[in-house]
Structure 1
Amino acid sequence: MSPEPAHDSDFSAVIRLLADAALPHDDLAPEHLRHFLVMRDADGIAGVVGMEVADDAGLLRSLAVPEARRGGGLASRLVDALEAYARSAGIRTLYLLTTTAEAFFARRGYARVERGTVPEAIAATPEFRSICPASAACMAKALVPAPEPAAVA
């Protein structure tokens, strides 16, 4: 099972998974799924992660795995895949807000930053403006560009 792009038809399953994980979802519409990845199993969506794009910055959001599937590395695989997708889309830095997963993201190279230092386009997202509480940890990770293929002589 590998992360793959989400489809519009996944919208209700994604919203259900986010609701079950007590994550914000009221601001999402099917068009947001163009920057979402999902993992599927025989039962349907086994994990999701998304990104909002703002110039060369991205807001990592909506990372959720059903409680019964946690601890098996699905969330880590989703984050790794989203980071690769973000790099390929020209994203230089990923930002996120979390009230429960700071240690998880810190282990993956994200570090706390002051909310006031995020790019204006990220700060203008509904998640930053009003959905996530001011007490949420604001974290960022600079993405190293994918290596250029070596020239063949």
Structure 2
Amino acid sequence: MNFYHHPPAAAAKTLLAAEGLPTADLAAEHFAHFIACGPEDSPDAVVGLELYGDVALLRSLAVSPGARGKGYGGALVAEIEAYAQQLGVRELYLLTNSAEAFFSRRGYSSVERTNVPETIRQTAEFSSLCPASAVCMHKRIEAR
């Protein structure tokens, strides 16, 4: 599986939108911390980070319907975690409406929103784009 950083914004946003994930707050520069696999003009899967010092918001994990069941999601999460470690991130947070079991199997646990750092709570995804019913999850990682 070949991964590449900084996928073309338009192609990544197309996949995210098709999978029902928020894109309204994503400008081209946000994709500097995204990783994708598959063709650059039509990625099979993407995932991204929003960095805030030693904490980050893991966001926008999407796998196209034709690529599901091939391990792309798990491989991308492992890849983005390794990338986060290289950048000195120690804690990852995410919001999910439908993938709680997927992330639980990868070491993430549910956390109350009130226990999330203020920098993460103030992100557009956290404060307005994801519904209040979304599950908030956390994973502590060791910085390299």
Q: Does 1:11 pair with 2:9? A: yes
Paired residue type of 1:139? M
Unaligned runs of 5+ in 2: none
| Structure 1 position 40, deviation (Å) | 1.9
1:114 paired residue among 101, 108, 112: 112
Q: 1:43 to 1:51 in 2, by over 3 A?
A: closer
Partner Cα separation in structure 2 for residue 14 and residue 21 of structure 1: 11
- Partners of 2:10 and 2:41 in 1: how far apart? 14
Displacement of 1:2: 2.2
2:37 to 29, 36, 39: 39
Query: Offset at 1:6?
Result: 1.6
Instruction: Please tell me whether Structure 1 or Structure 2 has the larger radius of gyration of its CA atoms.
Output: 1
Aligned residues: 144
The 1:54–1:42 alpha-carbon spacing in structure 2 relative to 1, beyond 3 Å, is closer
Structure 1 position 57 matched with structure 2 position 55: yes
| Equivalent in the alignment of 1:150 | none
Equivalent residues of 2:11, 2:41 under 8 A apart? no
Provide the residue aligned with 1:23 in structure 2.
21
Bigger shift: 20-29 or 42-51? Answer: 42-51
Q: CA deviation at 1:4?
A: 1.6
After superposition, give the CA deviation of every residue in 1:23-68 in whole Å (9 maximum; x if it has no partner): 0111100000111001024873111000000111000000001011
The TM-score, its normalising length taken from structure 1, stands at 0.90
Identical counterparts, % of pairs: 49
Q: TM-score if structure 2 supplies the norm length?
A: 0.96
- One-letter amino acid of the structure 2 residue matched with residue 3 of structure 1: F
Report the Cα offset of residue 144 of structure 1. 1.9
Q: 1:42 to 1:53 in 2, by over 3 A?
A: closer
2:143 to 139, 142, 145: 145
Q: Aligned-pair RMSD on alpha carbons?
A: 1.3
Q: Distance in 2 between matches of 1:42 and 1:88?
A: 24
Aligned counterparts of 1:22 and 1:54: Cα–Cα separation in 2: 25
Q: Give me the whole-angstrom Cα distance separating, in 2, the residues matched to 1:120 and 1:50.
A: 20
Q: d(CA) in 1 for partners of 2:139 and 2:124?
A: 20
Shift of 1:145: 2.9
Can you give the 5+ residue segments of structure 1 that lack an aligned partner in the other structure?
Answer: 147-153
SS at match of 2:43: strand
